[in-house]
A = this chain, B = another copy of it.
């Protein structure tokens, strides 16, 4: 799936541009030092994957030292290494997470803000945002919520009691009853817990063509960019897909499985029921993951794995047979 250069303000009300100078005055207690900050107004936040013009990018130590000057980007970091590497447009801070939260909340309203605003029409007892773009041929069931900026492609079917926000859905896709798509990801830092300290999520969910999502699933949106479920994927019921996950085309996931944040899954992957994938791992193409597996690390293309921690399925079976032989008589 080609990711789309989406317009954040289609989904989240833009509050106002901020001169970075004013911003750094406001949060000066959190700033250790900075050099040659940009003069212009800040109007967005970028991830390193999708650099937007006139934005702030928040960088921790995993940064790969991109040249960000051409985009008029201000770097905010908690890493001395990153700070020293750049000779302009860089600010060193202590608490990167907190400053990310403040910045996001100053630039955009989102649905964890009480002031978040949208306008609705009641169509067949579903609440459809006036700012959603839904093809005429789409079928929407009863008691649904379709929020601001949502786009739904031709001939897709949204069943009943479905909640969709901050999402773009392709053609010929089916979303099952009581499913939630585009909800806030579960991002936080352990120091500052609670609802008001959660990371704002200003990204979206991208669902490709011919995708089938079952009933009572939850698919969280990306933090700044995308959660992706690519074309021809089939998801069963009660599945959890966390923020920033990318699932490539032709994948099949059985009921009650959960994919943690930022996992990347290749093409033609088949995942059994009640499987869990740890965060930030990569699963290759054509992988098969047996039911109830717990996958804790990257998996190579064409592997078949099972167990927890998941291992090659032949090894898993061997271990089980061995255990049966040598133990209990």
Report whether B216 and A186 are in contact in the complex, using a CB–CB cutoff of 8 Å.
Answer: no
In the bound complex, residues from chain B placing their C-beta under 8 Å from that of A324 are: 311
Please classify how large the interface on chain A is, using the bins under 10, 10 to 19, 20 to 34, 35 or more: 35 or more
Report whether B315 and A322 are in contact in the complex, using a CB–CB cutoff of 8 Å.
Answer: no
Q: Which of B172, B179, B193, B260 is the one whose CB lies under 8 Å from A273?
A: B260
A117-169: which residues lie under 8 A (CB-CB) from chain B?
120, 122, 124-125, 127, 137-139, 141-145, 155, 157, 159-161, 163
Q: Let me know if A308 is at the binding interface, CB within 8 A.
A: yes
The minimal Cβ–Cβ distance linking A190 to chain B, given in whole angstroms, is 7
Q: Let me know if A225 is at the binding interface, CB within 8 A.
A: no
Q: Let me know if A82 is at the binding interface, CB within 8 A.
A: no
Report whether A180 and B178 are in contact in the complex, using a CB–CB cutoff of 8 Å.
Answer: yes
Give A254 to B190 CA distance when docked, in angstroms. Answer: 13
Q: Which of B159, B250, B314 is the one whose CB lies under 8 Å from A193?
A: B250
Q: What secondary structure prevails in chain A residues at the interface with B?
A: loop
Q: Let me know if A264 is at the binding interface, CB within 8 A.
A: no
Q: Which of B138, B141, B240 is the one whose CB lies under 8 Å from A256?
A: B240
Residue of A141, A177, A180, A231 with highest tally of chain B CB at under 10 A = A177
Report whether B195 and A218 are in contact in the complex, using a CB–CB cutoff of 8 Å.
Answer: no
Give A276 to B273 CA distance when docked, in angstroms. Answer: 8
Known: A196-B172, A327-B319. A178 touches B114 (CB 8 A): no
The minimal Cβ–Cβ distance linking A177 to chain B, given in whole angstroms, is 4
Report whether B177 and A177 are in contact in the complex, using a CB–CB cutoff of 8 Å.
Answer: no
Residue of B with least CB distance to A188: B234
Inter-chain pairs besides A163-B215, A183-B215, 8 sampled, C-beta below 8 Å: A141-B145, A143-B145, A161-B163, A194-B250, A258-B274, A278-B291, A292-B308, A319-B323
